[in-house]
Amino acid sequence: MSDASEPPVRFEQDGAIAILTLARPDKLNALDEAAVEALGSLCRRIERDETIRAVILTGEGGKAFSAGGDIGGWSGKTPLEFGRFWLREGHAVFDALARLRQPVIAVLNGHALGGGLELAAVADLRIAESHVKLGLPEAGLGIIPGWSGTQRAVRRFGALAIRRMALFGEVFEAQAALELGLVDVVVATGEGMAEAKRLAAKVCERAPVATELTKMLINAAEGEERERVLETMAGMFAASTEDLAEGVAAFRDKRRPGFTGR
């Protein structure tokens, strides 16, 4: 049983690697509002932590990475509430995860269904253990894949696999998911975390700023966050000039700035 005092998402740090674990195994790590909120606040914490160089996202229990959005929480929501406080807020959090500065590795140590697959899609790399299944069952419940299953997932995986899951209800096993590009690596059951730590260690060996900028550029190429990437990179470059210090000093001293163009 879930313990109400336990956080819905556990945070651990192993050297420079942050590990986020969905911690509601008795409900197959279904994502309720508390879990979505916890993921959002962990993103803010990870963004600001310069000691974190890579992130691993996984689920507790071995049966499900996540069986998706918490279906029980849907009843009683008006359509407007469903849109405003479930889909929209979920989107904001999944966007924040996909746009984290640090590379993210998802360890699918159990099934990734619906919102669970949409959550896996935010990662830069997906490792599936051989027993897992992936699918988008939403239309069978009378709803759509609303946490970017028809958008980011299509951008990242291509429309073909998404159509098969979302329109025809196909559920793919790990090996088929690998062939379709839904996951990047398949390992034996129980070996996902070790493989993720091995890959995360590789990330940590490389130059942090170059890695961060490269991730931003790839995201921009994918249409993930083009505007923010352009302005962030240009802003960083402008901030590296002596002119910024001069502009700020001139403002503080109430004088005209003497820009040098350096």
List active site positions: 118, 138
Q: How far apart are CA 230 and CA 255, in angstroms?
A: 31
Residues with Cβ < 8 Å from 67, sequence gap 6 or more? 27, 28, 29, 30, 111, 113, 114, 116
> SS3 of 128, please?
strand
In the complex, minimum distance from the CB of residue 200 to ligand COA, in angstroms, rounded to a whole number: 28
- Cα four-point dihedral sign 94, 96, 98, 100: negative
Q: Cα dihedral angle (99, 105, 107, 108), rounded to 10 degrees?
A: 50
| Closer by beta carbon to ligand COA, 32 or else 246 | 32
What tokens does 108 get?
């699918």
Strands (E), 41-178: 54-59, 64-66, 104-108, 111-113, 125-129, 133-135, 172-173
Binding site for ligand COA (CB under 6 A): 27-28, 30, 67-72, 111, 113-115, 137-138, 141
d(CA 115, CA 87) in angstroms, rounded, equals 10
CA distance 63 to 131: 9
Please tell me whether residue 102 adopts helix, strand or coil conformation. Answer: coil
Which CB atom, from 10 or from 63, has the smaller least distance to ligand COA?
63
